[in-house]
Amino acid sequence: MTSILEADVLAVLTPGGKLTTDTIARNLNAPKWRVVRALHSLRRNGDAFRNQQAEWQITAGQRRPPRQAAR
């Protein structure tokens, strides 16, 4: 299940966009450590990856609507 923060990160990472962890954290007004955890979870799920310049991107063909997180 995708967490609320993971869904927010996916929304910030538009297809074709490349953002660093710091930029994503600033855009979401979230602590960097939480964004890092969300990004690594998205990477494990195959939804995002980090390139050689340490920028995160959406995995091609993996863009899907975020699932509702349990509250």
Q: What is the per-residue DSSP string for 6-55?
A: HHHHHHHS-TT--B-HHHHHHHHT--HHHHHHHHHHHHHHTSEEE-TTS-
- CA terminus-to-terminus distance, the chain: 12
* pLDDT tens sequence across 4-63: 999 999 999 887 789 999 999 999 999 999 999 999 999 999 999 999 999 999 987 654
Q: Cα–Cα distance between 35 and 61 in angstroms, integer?
A: 22
Total number of domains constituting the chain: 1
pLDDT of residue 2: 67
* Residue 9 domain flag: yes
The pTM (predicted TM-score) of the whole model is: 0.79
* Residue 63 domain flag: no
Q: Cα–Cα distance between 64 and 11 in angstroms, integer?
A: 10
* Residue 15 domain flag: yes
**pLDDT range class, residue 1, cuts 50, 70, 90:** low
